[in-house]
Amino acid sequence: MAPLPALITRENFKSFLESFDTVLTDCDGVLWHEDRLIGQAHVTLNTLQALGKKVFFVTNNSTKSRDDYVEKCGRLGFKATKEDILSSAYVLAQYLKQQGFQKKVYVMGMGGIVKELQAEGIQSTGGEPEVYDGGSLSTLMDKMKLDPDVGAVACGFDPYLSYLKVMRAASYLERPGCLFLATNTDERFPVASKGLVYPGTGCVVRCVETVAERPATVMGKPSTKMFSVIQEKNSLDPKRTLMIGDRCNTDILFGKNCGLQTLVVLSGVTTQADLEKWAASDDPEQHALLADYCLTQLDDLLAFLDPKQEQC
Ligand SMILES: C[C@H](OP(=O)(O)O)C(=O)O
Ligand SMILES: [Mg+2]
């Protein structure tokens, strides 16, 4: 057994608010679902910023560049500069920069990865559809040409996942020293409608890992790399930093791996039933998924915050 996350109430709100200086907030499932704002998440963060809290946006979503996220945040009413945004695509490009990587990257993913690599002067190939045309495997082998300059494979969310792309990635990974990087391994996107399930980046990464017979190095949450990149330009006190997320095996685990306070919201993938299952378990790995605090959704805080910052 383990204690459930504490609900934030009028009684404990003041001590909660005074316990942190910085917020790291997840995006999909906390702030928005694709392009749809979740409640008044923007008013909540803007109010916290007006109270002097520093806010960083930390997303495993590699489909967009930081510039794209600055535009999205502005459009949805959030206050964010490029320096406030950490995406898994940005962390991947920083990782290769720190490795002094000079070759080319084969990208299974979208524009976010390509743009962040370009920003660091790193060349890439891939990033577009490659569809199997029904030919024999030997025909495929004859037709497939590999780029001699590729020295790394980067797997991100790729809606054009295909047999040929997995074949290409795994073939590059046969090369001695070829790096194998993944932006994240989230199993699903936190968008559920009409009983449909939206596969996340995890299916792309696990597919290539299976064929390559080797694990990828994961850049996004729960890895602490995202926090290390923030700390290169800031000196945050982990104990006075709050991580807010909707997925416990990435966001909350990331917060715990970095020594942060953690708050889970139930507006994304995690449900109250999940929390009760993990709390009732005897498995320490399930206990590790339990956050310090819980809210149904982020803007529940507005019940205690006055958007005009007149504290109750
Ligand atoms: C859903 C997740 O994005 P995040 O919740 O980290 O913003 C992802 O892109 O797989
Ligand atoms: Mg999320």
SS (H, E, C) 17-77: HCCCCEEEECCECCCEECCEECCCHHHHHHHHHHCCCEEEEEECCCCCCHHHHHHHHHHHC
Q: What is the mean pLDDT of the chain?
A: 95
Largest CA distance in the chain: 72
Look at residues 227, 144, 223 and name the one whose alpha carbon lies nearest to residue 181: 223
pLDDT-derived band at 307, boundaries 50, 70, 90? low
pLDDT of residue 191: 78
| Residues 6 or more apart in contact with residue 42 via CB below 8 angstroms | 31, 76, 77, 78
Is 26 assigned a catalytic role?
yes
- Taking the C-alpha atoms of residue 185 and residue 223, their distance in angstroms, rounded to an integer, is 11
Domain extent listing, the chain: 6-60+222-311, 101-218
Look at residues 5, 23, 193, 219 and name the one whose alpha carbon lies nearest to residue 112: 219
The tally of CA atoms less than 13 A away on the side-chain side of residue 143 is: 13
Backbone angles phi, psi at 155, to 5 degrees: -105, 125
90 C-alpha to ligand 1 centroid (Å):
14
For ligand 1, pick from 201, 247, 253 the residue to mutate: most ligand atoms within 8 Å of CB: 247
Q: Mean of the pLDDT values across residues 277-297?
A: 97
- Taking the C-alpha atoms of residue 200 and residue 186, their distance in angstroms, rounded to an integer, is 5
pLDDT per residue over 192-238, tens digit each?
A: 677 889 999 999 999 999 999 999 999 999 999 999 999 999 999 99
pLDDT of 282 above 60: yes
As a CATH number, domain 101-218 is 3.40.50.1000
pLDDT per residue over 47-83, tens digit each?
A: 999 999 999 999 999 999 999 999 999 999 999 999 9
Is 225 among the annotated ligand-binding positions? Answer: no
pLDDT of residue 140: 84
291 C-alpha to ligand 2 centroid (Å):
14
Q: Mean of the pLDDT values across residues 132-143?
A: 86
Name the pTM for this structure.
0.95
Is 251 assigned a catalytic role?
no
8 C-alpha to ligand 2 centroid (Å):
20
CATH architecture of 6-60+222-311: 3-Layer(aba) Sandwich (3.40)
The helix/strand/coil state of 145 is: coil
Q: Which runs of E-coded beta strand occur in 199-300?
A: 217-218, 241-245, 261-265, 293-295
112 C-alpha to ligand 1 centroid (Å):
13
The DSSP element (H or E) to which 125 belongs, if any, is strand 124-126
Alpha carbon 274 to chain centroid distance?
A: 20
pLDDT of residue 311: 42
pLDDT of residue 133: 85
189 C-alpha to ligand 1 centroid (Å):
7
| Ligand 1 atom showing the smallest separation from residue 184 Cα | 10
Q: Which of 28, 158, 251, 292 is catalytic?
A: 28
Residues with C-beta less than 6 Å from any ligand 1 atom? 26-29, 59-61, 184, 186, 189-190, 200-201, 247
Q: Which of 26, 158, 292, 300 is catalytic?
A: 26
Ligand with smallest separation from the Cα of 220: 1
For ligand 1, pick from 27, 86, 226 the residue to mutate: most ligand atoms within 8 Å of CB: 27
pLDDT of residue 132: 86
Q: Is the dihedral of CA 250, 75, 83, 293 positive or negative?
A: negative
Q: Mean of the pLDDT values across residues 113-123?
A: 98
pLDDT of residue 309: 54
Q: b vs e for 162-199, b when ≥16 Cβ sit within 10 Å of the residue's Cβ?
A: eebbbbbbbbbbeeeebbbbbbbbbebbbbeeeeeeee
pLDDT-derived band at 127, boundaries 50, 70, 90? confident
For ligand 1, pick from 78, 218, 250 the residue to mutate: most ligand atoms within 8 Å of CB: 250
